[in-house]
Protein backbone atom coordinates (compact mmCIF):
# COMPACT_ATOMS: atom_id res chain seq x y z
CA UNK A 1 0.00 0.00 0.00
CA UNK A 2 2.71 2.45 1.05
CA UNK A 3 4.85 1.38 -1.87
CA UNK A 4 1.97 1.99 -4.24
CA UNK A 5 1.27 5.40 -2.75
CA UNK A 6 4.88 6.38 -3.25
CA UNK A 7 4.78 5.25 -6.88
CA UNK A 8 1.58 7.19 -7.49
CA UNK A 9 3.12 10.25 -5.84
CA UNK A 10 6.12 10.09 -8.12
CA UNK A 11 3.83 9.69 -11.10
CA UNK A 12 1.72 12.71 -10.16
CA UNK A 13 4.86 14.79 -9.64
CA UNK A 14 6.31 13.78 -13.03
CA UNK A 15 4.77 16.44 -15.32
CA UNK A 16 5.77 19.28 -13.01
CA UNK A 17 9.23 17.77 -12.48
CA UNK A 18 9.80 17.61 -16.25
CA UNK A 19 8.54 21.17 -16.63
CA UNK A 20 10.80 22.45 -13.83
CA UNK A 21 13.73 20.48 -15.23
CA UNK A 22 13.33 22.06 -18.66
CA UNK A 23 12.55 25.62 -17.61
CA UNK A 24 14.53 26.00 -14.39
CA UNK A 25 17.33 23.49 -14.16
CA UNK A 26 18.33 23.28 -17.85
CA UNK A 27 19.00 27.05 -18.29
CA UNK A 28 21.11 27.10 -15.13
CA UNK A 29 23.13 24.13 -16.35
CA UNK A 30 23.50 25.83 -19.74
CA UNK A 31 24.77 29.03 -18.12
CA UNK A 32 27.08 26.98 -15.92
CA UNK A 33 28.42 25.35 -19.10
CA UNK A 34 28.95 28.69 -20.85
CA UNK A 35 30.76 30.05 -17.80
CA UNK A 36 33.39 27.36 -18.19
CA UNK A 37 34.26 28.20 -21.81
CA UNK A 38 37.33 30.23 -22.76
CA UNK A 39 36.48 33.93 -22.99
CA UNK A 40 35.25 35.65 -26.17
CA UNK A 41 35.03 32.44 -28.20
CA UNK A 42 32.43 29.79 -28.64
CA UNK A 43 34.15 26.49 -28.45
CA UNK A 44 33.70 23.36 -26.49
CA UNK A 45 37.27 22.20 -27.10
CA UNK A 46 39.03 23.83 -24.17
CA UNK A 47 36.43 23.15 -21.51
CA UNK A 48 36.54 23.48 -18.63
CA UNK A 49 38.32 26.77 -18.67
CA UNK A 50 38.01 29.08 -15.67
CA UNK A 51 39.44 32.23 -17.23
CA UNK A 52 36.03 33.93 -17.08
CA UNK A 53 35.97 33.46 -13.29
CA UNK A 54 39.50 34.86 -13.09
CA UNK A 55 38.30 37.94 -14.96
CA UNK A 56 35.40 38.28 -12.53
CA UNK A 57 37.84 38.35 -9.63
CA UNK A 58 40.48 40.51 -11.32
CA UNK A 59 38.28 43.22 -12.88
CA UNK A 60 36.62 44.49 -9.72
CA UNK A 61 33.20 43.07 -10.49
CA UNK A 62 32.84 42.48 -6.75
CA UNK A 63 31.84 46.15 -6.50
CA UNK A 64 28.77 45.53 -8.65
CA UNK A 65 27.96 42.41 -6.65
CA UNK A 66 28.33 44.38 -3.42
CA UNK A 67 26.17 47.24 -4.71
CA UNK A 68 23.45 44.81 -5.80
CA UNK A 69 23.44 43.08 -2.43
CA UNK A 70 23.56 46.35 -0.44
CA UNK A 71 20.79 47.95 -2.50
CA UNK A 72 18.68 44.79 -2.22
CA UNK A 73 19.26 44.57 1.53
CA UNK A 74 18.37 48.24 2.02
CA UNK A 75 15.22 47.90 -0.09
CA UNK A 76 14.20 44.75 1.82
CA UNK A 77 14.70 46.42 5.20
CA UNK A 78 12.79 49.54 4.20
CA UNK A 79 10.00 47.40 2.74
CA UNK A 80 9.76 45.39 5.97
CA UNK A 81 9.32 48.57 7.97
CA UNK A 82 6.77 50.18 5.66
CA UNK A 83 4.85 47.04 4.83
CA UNK A 84 4.46 45.76 8.42
CA UNK A 85 1.81 48.31 9.50
CA UNK A 86 0.05 48.13 6.14
CA UNK A 87 0.08 44.31 6.10
CA UNK A 88 -1.08 44.30 9.74
CA UNK A 89 -4.01 46.51 8.81
CA UNK A 90 -4.83 44.31 5.81
CA UNK A 91 -4.75 41.14 7.89
CA UNK A 92 -6.44 42.38 11.07
CA UNK A 93 -8.04 45.80 10.76
CA UNK A 94 -9.38 46.59 7.28
CA UNK A 95 -12.23 44.36 6.30
CA UNK A 96 -13.71 45.00 2.87
CA UNK A 97 -11.05 47.64 2.21
CA UNK A 98 -8.38 44.92 2.11
CA UNK A 99 -9.78 43.74 -1.22
CA UNK A 100 -9.69 47.26 -2.66
CA UNK A 101 -6.10 47.64 -1.52
CA UNK A 102 -5.15 44.24 -2.93
CA UNK A 103 -6.65 45.05 -6.32
CA UNK A 104 -4.98 48.47 -6.28
CA UNK A 105 -1.55 47.04 -5.54
CA UNK A 106 -1.90 44.15 -7.98
CA UNK A 107 -3.10 46.49 -10.76
CA UNK A 108 0.27 48.24 -10.82
CA UNK A 109 1.81 44.92 -11.86
CA UNK A 110 -0.23 45.01 -15.07
CA UNK A 111 1.97 47.84 -16.36
CA UNK A 112 5.52 47.00 -17.32
CA UNK A 113 8.16 47.89 -14.76
CA UNK A 114 10.16 49.98 -17.26
CA UNK A 115 7.13 52.08 -18.15
CA UNK A 116 6.37 52.70 -14.49
CA UNK A 117 9.96 53.70 -13.83
CA UNK A 118 9.94 56.05 -16.83
CA UNK A 119 6.84 57.56 -15.28
CA UNK A 120 8.90 58.37 -12.20
CA UNK A 121 11.67 59.81 -14.37
CA UNK A 122 9.16 62.11 -16.09
CA UNK A 123 7.79 63.09 -12.71
CA UNK A 124 11.11 63.79 -11.04
CA UNK A 125 13.37 65.04 -13.86
CA UNK A 126 14.38 68.66 -14.35
CA UNK A 127 11.53 70.28 -16.21
CA UNK A 128 9.36 67.28 -15.33
CA UNK A 129 6.05 67.14 -13.53
CA UNK A 130 7.29 68.30 -10.11
CA UNK A 131 10.19 70.62 -10.84
CA UNK A 132 8.46 72.08 -13.90
CA UNK A 133 5.36 73.15 -11.98
CA UNK A 134 7.32 74.42 -8.99
CA UNK A 135 9.45 76.55 -11.29
CA UNK A 136 6.41 77.75 -13.22
CA UNK A 137 4.65 78.90 -10.05
CA UNK A 138 7.53 80.14 -7.92
CA UNK A 139 10.24 80.84 -10.43
CA UNK A 140 12.61 78.71 -8.38
CA UNK A 141 14.07 75.66 -10.04
CA UNK A 142 16.04 72.85 -8.42
CA UNK A 143 18.07 69.87 -9.48
CA UNK A 144 16.20 66.70 -10.21
CA UNK A 145 16.40 64.20 -7.31
CA UNK A 146 17.47 61.59 -9.85
CA UNK A 147 20.68 59.76 -10.70
CA UNK A 148 21.80 58.93 -7.16
CA UNK A 149 21.73 55.94 -4.83
CA UNK A 150 18.70 56.93 -2.69
CA UNK A 151 16.48 57.20 -5.76
CA UNK A 152 17.59 53.70 -6.83
CA UNK A 153 16.55 52.36 -3.42
CA UNK A 154 13.28 54.25 -3.76
CA UNK A 155 12.74 52.59 -7.15
CA UNK A 156 13.39 49.12 -5.71
CA UNK A 157 11.04 49.77 -2.80
CA UNK A 158 8.38 51.04 -5.18
CA UNK A 159 8.65 48.17 -7.65
CA UNK A 160 8.88 45.28 -5.15
CA UNK A 161 6.30 46.46 -2.59
CA UNK A 162 3.67 43.84 -3.57
CA UNK A 163 6.18 41.03 -3.11
CA UNK A 164 6.71 42.05 0.51
CA UNK A 165 3.18 43.20 1.31
CA UNK A 166 1.22 40.05 0.50
CA UNK A 167 3.44 37.42 2.15
CA UNK A 168 3.69 39.68 5.20
CA UNK A 169 -0.10 40.03 5.41
CA UNK A 170 -0.37 36.26 5.13
CA UNK A 171 2.21 35.84 7.90
CA UNK A 172 0.47 38.30 10.20
CA UNK A 173 -2.88 36.62 9.67
CA UNK A 174 -1.25 33.49 11.13
CA UNK A 175 -0.73 35.19 14.51
CA UNK A 176 -3.68 34.05 16.65
CA UNK A 177 -5.58 36.93 18.25
CA UNK A 178 -5.85 35.11 21.55
CA UNK A 179 -2.07 34.72 21.83
CA UNK A 180 -1.74 38.48 21.48
CA UNK A 181 -4.51 39.06 24.03
CA UNK A 182 -3.03 36.55 26.45
CA UNK A 183 0.38 38.23 26.24
CA UNK A 184 -1.24 41.61 26.89
CA UNK A 185 -3.19 40.17 29.81
CA UNK A 186 0.04 38.71 31.23
CA UNK A 187 1.54 42.18 31.29
CA UNK A 188 3.28 42.60 27.94
CA UNK A 189 3.65 46.08 26.48
CA UNK A 190 2.93 46.68 22.78
CA UNK A 191 6.63 46.37 21.96
CA UNK A 192 6.96 43.17 23.95
CA UNK A 193 3.96 41.73 22.11
CA UNK A 194 5.56 42.68 18.79
CA UNK A 195 8.91 41.15 19.74
CA UNK A 196 7.78 38.10 21.67
CA UNK A 197 4.59 37.10 19.88
CA UNK A 198 3.92 38.78 16.56
CA UNK A 199 7.35 38.77 14.92
CA UNK A 200 8.14 35.11 15.74
CA UNK A 201 4.68 33.87 14.78
CA UNK A 202 4.64 35.89 11.54
CA UNK A 203 8.20 34.75 10.74
CA UNK A 204 7.26 32.48 7.81
CA UNK A 205 5.62 35.46 6.09
CA UNK A 206 8.52 37.73 6.95
CA UNK A 207 10.97 35.19 5.55
CA UNK A 208 9.06 34.61 2.32
CA UNK A 209 8.49 38.33 1.75
CA UNK A 210 12.10 39.25 2.50
CA UNK A 211 13.40 36.45 0.34
CA UNK A 212 11.22 37.39 -2.64
CA UNK A 213 12.10 41.08 -2.48
CA UNK A 214 15.77 40.47 -1.78
CA UNK A 215 16.22 37.98 -4.60
CA UNK A 216 14.31 40.11 -7.09
CA UNK A 217 16.04 43.33 -6.03
CA UNK A 218 19.48 41.73 -6.13
CA UNK A 219 18.85 40.77 -9.75
CA UNK A 220 17.36 44.15 -10.69
CA UNK A 221 18.92 46.67 -13.06
CA UNK A 222 16.12 48.85 -14.45
CA UNK A 223 16.04 51.01 -11.30
CA UNK A 224 19.76 51.76 -11.38
CA UNK A 225 19.72 52.36 -15.13
CA UNK A 226 16.58 54.48 -15.45
CA UNK A 227 16.28 56.29 -12.11
CA UNK A 228 19.90 56.01 -11.05
CA UNK A 229 21.36 56.86 -14.44
CA UNK A 230 24.05 54.28 -13.72
CA UNK A 231 25.20 56.17 -10.61
CA UNK A 232 26.11 52.64 -9.58
CA UNK A 233 26.24 49.58 -11.82
CA UNK A 234 24.41 46.52 -10.51
CA UNK A 235 25.57 43.00 -11.21
CA UNK A 236 22.56 42.25 -13.42
CA UNK A 237 23.53 45.25 -15.54
CA UNK A 238 27.08 43.84 -15.87
CA UNK A 239 25.70 40.46 -16.90
CA UNK A 240 23.59 42.07 -19.60
CA UNK A 241 26.50 44.17 -20.83
CA UNK A 242 28.76 41.13 -21.02
CA UNK A 243 26.21 39.22 -23.07
CA UNK A 244 25.33 42.12 -25.41
CA UNK A 245 27.92 44.87 -25.97
CA UNK A 246 30.76 42.77 -24.62
CA UNK A 247 29.83 39.70 -26.63
CA UNK A 248 31.60 37.78 -23.87
CA UNK A 249 29.15 35.03 -22.98
CA UNK A 250 31.50 33.11 -20.71
CA UNK A 251 32.11 36.26 -18.61
CA UNK A 252 28.36 36.99 -18.44
CA UNK A 253 27.68 33.40 -17.46
CA UNK A 254 30.39 33.42 -14.80
CA UNK A 255 28.97 36.63 -13.32
CA UNK A 256 25.50 35.08 -13.37
CA UNK A 257 26.80 31.95 -11.64
CA UNK A 258 28.39 34.02 -8.86
CA UNK A 259 25.07 35.81 -8.29
CA UNK A 260 23.13 32.53 -8.41
CA UNK A 261 25.51 30.97 -5.89
CA UNK A 262 25.22 33.84 -3.41
CA UNK A 263 21.46 34.20 -3.71
CA UNK A 264 20.85 30.47 -3.87
CA UNK A 265 22.73 29.93 -0.60
CA UNK A 266 20.76 32.71 1.04
CA UNK A 267 17.46 31.40 -0.26
CA UNK A 268 18.08 27.84 0.88
CA UNK A 269 19.12 29.08 4.33
CA UNK A 270 16.00 31.23 4.62
CA UNK A 271 13.63 28.53 3.38
CA UNK A 272 15.07 26.04 5.86
CA UNK A 273 14.21 28.57 8.59
CA UNK A 274 10.69 29.37 7.44
CA UNK A 275 7.92 26.92 8.18
CA UNK A 276 6.34 26.88 4.73
CA UNK A 277 3.86 24.20 5.75
CA UNK A 278 2.39 26.44 8.39
CA UNK A 279 2.28 29.23 5.82
CA UNK A 280 0.22 27.14 3.44
CA UNK A 281 -2.16 26.24 6.27
CA UNK A 282 -0.87 22.68 6.78
CA UNK A 283 -0.18 22.42 10.48
CA UNK A 284 2.70 20.13 11.27
Partner 1 sequence: MSDPSPILRISALTKTFDDFTALHGIDLDVAEGEFLAIVGPSGSGKTTLIRLLVGMDDPTEGAIWLRDQRIDVIPANKRPTCMVFQSLALFPHRTVGQNIEFPLKLRGVAAKARKERALELLDLLRLPRDYYSKRIQQCSGGEKQRVALARALAFDPEILFFDEPLSALDYRLRKTLEKELKDLHRRTGKTFIYITHSLEEAMVMSDRIAIMRAGRFEQIAPAEEIYARPVSPFVAEFMGEVNFLSLAGGAVAGAELSPAAQAALAGQSGTLVIRPESLRLAPEAAGLILTGTVAAEYLLGSRVQYRIDSPAGELTVEVLREDAVAGVGAPVSLGCDISAVHVIAEAEDAAA
Nearer CB in complex with partner 1: 14/196: 196
Nearer CB in complex with partner 1: 181/244: 181
* Rounded Cα distance, 181 and 183, in Å: 5
Are 80 and 164 spatial neighbours (Cβ–Cβ below 8 Å)?
A: yes
* Rounded Cα distance, 190 and 49, in Å: 58
Nearer CB in complex with partner 1: 188/271: 188
Are 171 and 200 spatial neighbours (Cβ–Cβ below 8 Å)?
A: no
Give me the numbers of helices (H) and strands (E) for the chain, helices first please: 16, 0
Nearer CB in complex with partner 1: 175/255: 175
- Whole-number minimum distance, CB 270 to partner 1, in Å? 17
At residue 239's C-alpha, the angle toward residues 234 and 240, to 5°, is 100
| Residues found near partner 1 in the complex (CB under 8 A) | 176, 178-179, 181-189, 192, 196-197, 200-201, 284
* Rounded Cα distance, 147 and 33, in Å: 36
Nearer CB in complex with partner 1: 170/234: 170
Best CA proximity match to 258, nearest among 71, 35, 79: 35
At residue 145's C-alpha, the angle toward residues 141 and 150, to 5°, is 160
- Whole-number minimum distance, CB 135 to partner 1, in Å? 52
Half-sphere exposure (Cβ direction) of 253: Cα atoms closer than 13 Å? 23
* Rounded Cα distance, 9 and 278, in Å: 22
- Whole-number minimum distance, CB 104 to partner 1, in Å? 31
DSSP string, 43-63: -STT-S--HHHHHHHHTTTHH
- Whole-number minimum distance, CB 182 to partner 1, in Å? 4
- Whole-number minimum distance, CB 133 to partner 1, in Å? 48
- Whole-number minimum distance, CB 83 to partner 1, in Å? 21
- Whole-number minimum distance, CB 204 to partner 1, in Å? 11
Nearer CB in complex with partner 1: 2/283: 283
Q: Residue 128 region, left (φ>0) first, then alpha (ψ -120 to 50), else beta?
A: beta
Amino acid sequence: MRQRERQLGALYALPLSVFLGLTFLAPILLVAGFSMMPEKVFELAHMPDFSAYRTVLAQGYWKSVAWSLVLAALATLILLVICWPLAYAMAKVFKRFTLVLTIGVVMTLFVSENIRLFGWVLTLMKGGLVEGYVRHWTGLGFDAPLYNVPVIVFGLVYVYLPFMLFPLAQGISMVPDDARQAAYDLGATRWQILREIELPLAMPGIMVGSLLTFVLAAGAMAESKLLGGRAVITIADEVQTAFTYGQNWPLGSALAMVLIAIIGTLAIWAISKADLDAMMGRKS
